[in-house]
Copies of this chain bind each other. A is one copy, B any other.
Amino acid sequence: MPTTPRAADLKLTGLIGTMRCSQLFTGLPTEDLALIAGFSLTLQLAKGDYLFHEGEASRGFYLVQSGAVNVHRVSATGKEQVIHVFRAGESLAEAALASLTGYPANARAVEPSTVLLIPKAPVLDLIGQRPDLALRMLGSMSAHLRVLVGMLDDLTLKDVESRLLNWLVKHGRTAAGGVIKLPGTKRVLAAELGTSSETLSRTLARLRDQKLITVGARTITVLAAPALAAQLRRNLGEG
């Protein structure tokens, strides 16, 4: 691909556009965005490609431009625990910037994705010169902390049914007509809920028999969102 000045400009403005839409950089002046875009790298990832592995030294942090990136840990037993799936506009791995122990988890594209790598050294320099950027980074990391705390909450929901209800309520809010498109296979959803595909299947069947949802091949349709929430509260109440 030729990199004429014109093409480079186009690429740059494209980057700046995505950065402006990201939670981390939104509202930052254009010149700062251009500066950051100037030393950032664009990565094209196929489904299944790894962005980084646990323990690797930090190369920088990442901004998802399109697609989806699954951040996860593998336990000593070889099981994969999903921490979060990052989508367009979200940034990840800021934590490794300021730490010497490398990335604390693994990241892998679950779809074909384009990701921005913002290298460590220049961004640390820039943070030194732009205190408000530092505050943004702090804010972003605190958001990630909240995600993890939320995960803890989920894991203390003992019931698989409760975790599933919680998931349905959360994802049903953002889905039009209550139709939730599954990110991948149902086994993946099961993993995200910390259970097996068999148990997920049974639990979905139970909710379907109660006319709360319908289950398609790659979709789940919420028929009665309030009833779902009510059932969730009931489960919690009797815990």
Are the C-beta atoms of A98 and B152 separated by less than 8 Å? no
- How long is the Cα–Cα vector from A45 to B156 in the complex, in angstroms? 29
Q: Are A81 and B128 in contact (CB under 8 A)?
A: no
Residues of B within 8 A of A157 (CB): 75
A237 to chain B, nearest CB (A): 8
Q: Chain B residues near A132 (CB, 8 Å)?
A: 128
Cα(A73)–Cα(B237), bound, Å: 17
A77 within 8 A of B: yes
Minimum distance in angstroms from A143 CB to a CB of chain B = 7
Chain B residues near A144 (CB-CB < 8 A): 145
- One complex includes copies of this chain to the number of 2
Closest chain-B Cβ to A90's Cβ sits at a distance in Å of 15
Residues in chain B near residue A139, CB distance under 8 A? 98-99
The answer to whether A77 touches B152, judged by C-beta atoms less than 8 angstroms apart, is: no
B155 touches A155 (CB 8 A): yes
- Once A79-B156, A134-B138 are accepted as A-B contacts, the answer to whether A95 and B145 lie under 8 Å apart by CB is yes
Which residues of chain B are near A124, meaning CB under 8 Å?
135
Judged by a CB distance under 8 angstroms, whether A131 is at the interface is yes
Confirm or deny: A153 has a beta carbon within 8 angstroms of a beta carbon on chain B: yes
Nearest CB of B to A182, in Å:
22
Query: Who on chain B is nearest to A144 by CB?
Result: B145
A83 adjacent to chain B (CB < 8 Å): yes
Check if A156 sits within 8 Å of B75, measured CB to CB.
Answer: yes
Known contacts being A75-B157, A153-B81, A156-B81, is A138 close to B135, with CB within 8 Å? Answer: no
A window 132-152: CB within 8 A of B: 132, 134-139, 141-146, 148-149, 151-152
B153 touches A73 (CB 8 A): yes
A129 CB contacts on chain B under 8 angstroms? 131
Tell me which residues across on chain B come within 8 A of A96, comparing CB atoms: 142
A146: which of B81, B104, B134, B233 is its contact (CB, 8 Å)? B104
